[in-house]
Chains A and B, each alone.
Chain A
């Protein structure tokens, strides 16, 4: 009996969100199959990788990362260098210096950093806040204003601050919004509904449905991604049909597997290798469960994951 191939067809397509402008702009989403299911249909847009840099320069980075940026004096130079690594599709500037419990840099200073970085690179830009709800509401709104016309993605609008951030990014300054929720399909959906009710075009929204390092409650993260994608495609659920972006490096480089020194954990092997492994493993799992973009830090991880995406897409 001949083998008849059964295709899994969905009547829905993840929205395509274009990030950045010009030649180097990238397209996120657009798929109507499960990730890498090329046997069901062609991949619309292969998953993308962003490289994470910080307004704090290299101050808080592990030694192995510092080595790649030797000679870079400013954040703009770091950004330029970051954009040059193999496999990098976009740059993610984290404004962690804004945290009132940390360096507490003023908003204007951070906005200037964002402007400098944006001018220094031709790749698309993602700007991440400092995670403090009050500060982010102001900071990300100002960044949205300052970078008008650049079509940047702002991470992220949460239930507590979506009103300011989504309104500024989505309505006033025509940027993209990252909607961040805490590892729950219903919470993800609710936030999208709230953002839509502000009048924001859902075609400008990218979701961050939560992230963790592999082994740290990670099963919840990937099963949420999996369910989000299955519900989006299977039920053509309009409020879940947006691409997913997942910050990976911010989770994986702080866990002990990546940070414990070789003296403290002699049996575990070289610290740099461990950091790369954690990053690659976490990123690959996120991609296979439905992330359309991941944010990484180590150039070797980026090259590795990029190779995988090319091979499987």
Chain B
């Protein structure tokens, strides 16, 4: 056995023990040290770098580490094996920021905007913002020797008297506290209940003078990022909001790698633990602390995520999703409860799951479709969710079609050497001077925040600017030379946005040809999916009235640049609307409003799913779209015009 110490830049350390020959990344995973490994430990992505401080590692050299860096002690964890006691430093580079939790500042109106807008749009569509949770005050007779009815029967009768519903259900958690609560409050209590046509279910009891807060939890489980809200179920107020990386990231960057990992012995449990124990429960903890709510006061939860994510969340076997004929366990389920999944909220809380449409179009899309409101207009619109999977919904109040394409994690900063989420330190917008080739950019965070990496919107800007300045070819290869452009010994070019002296990182913030290539593939997947979907219906982009763009790409997304690199169709820019994390706002709507929840089920049923992988012509469209802006320039007349000018 060897002793391994993982040191963080903060100075803290975690100690682990491993046998000779064990893989360092595996050891880190076992010890819950988050080392980002989007490629699942195949030495492909170069993200799992650690620095050897003392001891020896048997480590292969890869193209991700320069000779100089190797000398300094940098190693890839996935190709390193333990041969002695070692101390390694886990660096604070862009990718490490991915996993960090961030609680939102709710005093900023920007954070709340999408939820207020969601409520407004639902109201306009005639959807009542009412759910089945309510607060019912009841006063009972104090028992005496003449009135010896048990406590629970007393409560049941009182509730039946108020509601007119005979069936009242009181769970164990309430029974356990019932005698004390009733006596403390002299048999007058406020009950948090769920009322349906058939029964009343009691979640909690409060004294008459107590300020009751019935919390609801909204979670958007993205493949890369998990966002959550705590809301007041009675009035819809947002009490807390937080975001963190999906703990499953260390088991692979995309759904396919996650499913493969889940089929290894104990894998299903590991993946479920990673998303619940390591991701959602800490989010709940942080948010509850922020808003002063007890976790047990959260009485309902709504989850939106892609089909694989909600399967792994529920602990279901996801393998059939991956293999022909791609069958999910469920599209819609109401059988999940907090207690069964180990979620730290009220154990009886019911988990509402946004329904799936296909193996690769899940609840994040059905929820998002609801808030995009494309189903409520006669004009044709496109709803695009730019996530690790790109999903597209097209249609109007008469019909809707959907499809999914694998865009990879690039929009959220994955698979990009300096990629990160749209959080503090991310370059979110950029322009480049055509003559000097010097960049100027804006960084998310407090004034003076130095750049750490690039988020999706920043990537779009940088690539668009590199192309505009003729620094890269339409294939994404560098064609100009300059002080900020360099080539490694394998000939790979890169452009330095900020040298490490000017950055808040241990390395230069740069964009490489491999990054650009990954991004071109991502944007190619999105554009070709839109084209294929529209072409299959004999539609032309000119018939599209509005395009709603959602996802964690960053609110700073510059639509002109996104069109300029051929990611979105070339239609007038005022038709594009960025609607933020629509999966989260959709799940919020489903939790807050029973009618909205039913509407989402209806949308899911009425949407036609188109499987792109079996659509002839998709591959052709994809190859044609992997070019800036597109192989067929006639599809981008405005870009072409700008070039000739």
Q: Do A and B bind each other?
A: yes
- Knowing that A190-B474, A193-B474 touch, tell me 13 more A-B residue pairs with CB under 8 angstroms: A163-B479, A184-B623, A185-B620, A186-B623, A186-B624, A186-B631, A189-B631, A189-B632, A190-B475, A193-B627, A193-B631, A194-B475, A197-B473
With CB as the reference atom, state the residue of chain B lying closest to A159. B475
B residues less than 8 Å from A184 (CB atoms): 623
CA distance A189 to B473 in the complex (A): 14
With CB as the reference atom, state the residue of chain A lying closest to B624. A186
A residues less than 8 Å from B632 (CB atoms): 189
CA distance A159 to B517 in the complex (A): 14
Majority secondary structure, A binding face:
helix
B residues less than 8 Å from A185 (CB atoms): 620
A residues less than 8 Å from B631 (CB atoms): 186, 189-190, 193
Q: What is the CB-to-nearest-CB distance from A186 to chain B, in angstroms, rounded to a whole number?
A: 4
CA distance A199 to B475 in the complex (A): 16
Which of chain A's residues 95-114 have a Cβ closer than 8 Å to chain B? none
CA distance A193 to B623 in the complex (A): 14
A residues less than 8 Å from B473 (CB atoms): 194, 197
List 5 A–B pairs whose Cβ atoms lie within 8 Å, in order of A's numbering: A184-B623, A190-B631, A193-B627, A194-B473, A194-B475
Cβ of A187 < 8 Å from any Cβ of B?
yes
Majority secondary structure, B binding face:
loop
Which of chain B's residues 464-491 have a Cβ closer than 8 Å to chain A? 473-475, 479
Q: What is the CB-to-nearest-CB distance from B471 to chain A, in angstroms, rounded to a whole number?
A: 13
CA distance A31 to B470 in the complex (A): 35
Which of chain A's residues 140-177 have a Cβ closer than 8 Å to chain B? 159, 163
Q: What is the CB-to-nearest-CB distance from A86 to chain B, in angstroms, rounded to a whole number?
A: 41
CA distance A162 to B632 in the complex (A): 20
Report B608-645 CB contacts with A as 1/0, cut-off 8 Å. Answer: 00000000000010011001000110000000000000
CA distance A187 to B620 in the complex (A): 10
CA distance A184 to B620 in the complex (A): 8
B residues less than 8 Å from A190 (CB atoms): 474-475, 627, 631
CA distance A194 to B631 in the complex (A): 10
B residues less than 8 Å from A163 (CB atoms): 479
With CB as the reference atom, state the residue of chain A lying closest to B479. A163
The A-B contact count (CB < 8 A) is 25
Q: What is the CB-to-nearest-CB distance from B635 to chain A, in angstroms, rounded to a whole number?
A: 12
A residues less than 8 Å from B479 (CB atoms): 163
CA distance A194 to B470 in the complex (A): 12
Report A248-274 CB contacts with B as 1/0, cut-off 8 Å. Answer: 000000000000000000000000000
CA distance A163 to B493 in the complex (A): 15
Q: What is the CB-to-nearest-CB distance from B161 to chain A, in angstroms, rounded to a whole number?
A: 73
B binding-site residues for A, Cβ under 8 Å: 473-475, 479, 620, 623-624, 627, 631-632
B residues less than 8 Å from A189 (CB atoms): 624, 631-632
CA distance A197 to B624 in the complex (A): 18
Q: What is the CB-to-nearest-CB distance from B329 to chain A, in angstroms, rounded to a whole number?
A: 39
A residues less than 8 Å from B620 (CB atoms): 185-186
CA distance A184 to B621 in the complex (A): 11
B residues less than 8 Å from A186 (CB atoms): 620, 623-624, 627, 631
A residues less than 8 Å from B627 (CB atoms): 186, 190, 193
Flag if B623 contacts A194 (CB, 8 Å). Answer: no
Q: What is the CB-to-nearest-CB distance from A66 to chain B, in angstroms, rounded to a whole number?
A: 41
User: Which 7 A-B residue pairs are closest in the complex by CB-CB distance?
Assistant: A186-B624, A186-B623, A186-B631, A189-B631, A190-B627, A190-B631, A194-B473
Q: What is the CB-to-nearest-CB distance from B513 to chain A, in angstroms, rounded to a whole number?
A: 12
CA distance A194 to B632 in the complex (A): 13
Q: What is the CB-to-nearest-CB distance from A270 to chain B, in angstroms, rounded to a whole number?
A: 42
CA distance A41 to B497 in the complex (A): 57
Q: What is the CB-to-nearest-CB distance from A277 to chain B, in angstroms, rounded to a whole number?
A: 33
B residues less than 8 Å from A159 (CB atoms): 475
Which of chain A's residues 46-72 have a Cβ closer than 8 Å to chain B? none
CA distance A186 to B631 in the complex (A): 7
With CB as the reference atom, state the residue of chain B lying closest to A227. B620
CA distance A193 to B475 in the complex (A): 10
With CB as the reference atom, state the residue of chain A lying closest to B623. A186
Flag if B624 contacts A194 (CB, 8 Å). Answer: no
CA distance A189 to B625 in the complex (A): 12
Q: What is the CB-to-nearest-CB distance from A13 to chain B, in angstroms, rounded to a whole number?
A: 19
B residues less than 8 Å from A193 (CB atoms): 474, 627, 631
A residues less than 8 Å from B624 (CB atoms): 186, 189
CA distance A251 to B632 in the complex (A): 31
CA distance A184 to B475 in the complex (A): 15
Q: What is the CB-to-nearest-CB distance from A220 to chain B, in angstroms, rounded to a whole number?
A: 12
CA distance A197 to B627 in the complex (A): 14
CA distance A198 to B479 in the complex (A): 10
Q: Which of A159, A163, A186, A197 has the most CB of B within 10 A?
A: A186
CA distance A189 to B479 in the complex (A): 19
Q: What is the CB-to-nearest-CB distance from B400 to chain A, in angstroms, rounded to a whole number?
A: 30
Q: What is the CB-to-nearest-CB distance from B490 to chain A, in angstroms, rounded to a whole number?
A: 12
Q: What is the CB-to-nearest-CB distance from B478 to chain A, in angstroms, rounded to a whole number?
A: 11
A residues less than 8 Å from B623 (CB atoms): 184, 186-187
With CB as the reference atom, state the residue of chain B lying closest to A163. B479
CA distance A93 to B627 in the complex (A): 34
CA distance A189 to B632 in the complex (A): 9
With CB as the reference atom, state the residue of chain B lying closest to A198. B479
CA distance A187 to B626 in the complex (A): 9
CA distance A159 to B479 in the complex (A): 13
CA distance A187 to B624 in the complex (A): 8
With CB as the reference atom, state the residue of chain B lying closest to A231. B632
CA distance A186 to B456 in the complex (A): 27
Report A186-228 CB contacts with B as 1/0, cut-off 8 Å. Answer: 1101100110010000000000000000000000000000000
CA distance A156 to B474 in the complex (A): 20
Q: What is the CB-to-nearest-CB distance from B332 to chain A, in angstroms, rounded to a whole number?
A: 40
CA distance A186 to B475 in the complex (A): 12
Q: What is the CB-to-nearest-CB distance from A196 to chain B, in angstroms, rounded to a whole number?
A: 10
CA distance A186 to B474 in the complex (A): 13
With CB as the reference atom, state the residue of chain B lying closest to A237. B632
With CB as the reference atom, state the residue of chain B lying closest to A192. B631
CA distance A311 to B475 in the complex (A): 43
CA distance A280 to B479 in the complex (A): 42
CA distance A198 to B475 in the complex (A): 13
CA distance A257 to B631 in the complex (A): 38
CA distance A194 to B476 in the complex (A): 11
CA distance A197 to B480 in the complex (A): 13
Q: What is the CB-to-nearest-CB distance from A274 to chain B, in angstroms, rounded to a whole number?
A: 35
Q: What is the CB-to-nearest-CB distance from B521 to chain A, in angstroms, rounded to a whole number?
A: 14
Q: What is the CB-to-nearest-CB distance from A62 to chain B, in angstroms, rounded to a whole number?
A: 37
Q: What is the CB-to-nearest-CB distance from B462 to chain A, in angstroms, rounded to a whole number?
A: 20
CA distance A187 to B623 in the complex (A): 7
CA distance A197 to B623 in the complex (A): 20
Q: What is the CB-to-nearest-CB distance from A165 to chain B, in angstroms, rounded to a whole number?
A: 15
Q: What is the CB-to-nearest-CB distance from B636 to chain A, in angstroms, rounded to a whole number?
A: 13
Which of chain A's residues 265-305 have a Cβ closer than 8 Å to chain B? none
CA distance A190 to B520 in the complex (A): 14
CA distance A193 to B629 in the complex (A): 12
With CB as the reference atom, state the residue of chain B lying closest to A197. B473
CA distance A163 to B472 in the complex (A): 13
Q: What is the CB-to-nearest-CB distance from A46 to chain B, in angstroms, rounded to a whole number?
A: 31
Q: What is the CB-to-nearest-CB distance from B637 to chain A, in angstroms, rounded to a whole number?
A: 15
Q: What is the CB-to-nearest-CB distance from B134 to chain A, in angstroms, rounded to a whole number?
A: 59
CA distance A194 to B472 in the complex (A): 11
CA distance A163 to B475 in the complex (A): 13
CA distance A19 to B464 in the complex (A): 39
Q: What is the CB-to-nearest-CB distance from B246 to chain A, in angstroms, rounded to a whole number?
A: 34
With CB as the reference atom, state the residue of chain B lying closest to A187. B623
Which of chain A's residues 107-131 have a Cβ closer than 8 Å to chain B? none
CA distance A193 to B477 in the complex (A): 14
A residues less than 8 Å from B475 (CB atoms): 159, 190, 194
Q: What is the CB-to-nearest-CB distance from A193 to chain B, in angstroms, rounded to a whole number?
A: 6
A residues less than 8 Å from B474 (CB atoms): 190, 193-194, 197
CA distance A12 to B632 in the complex (A): 17
CA distance A186 to B633 in the complex (A): 12
CA distance A185 to B473 in the complex (A): 19
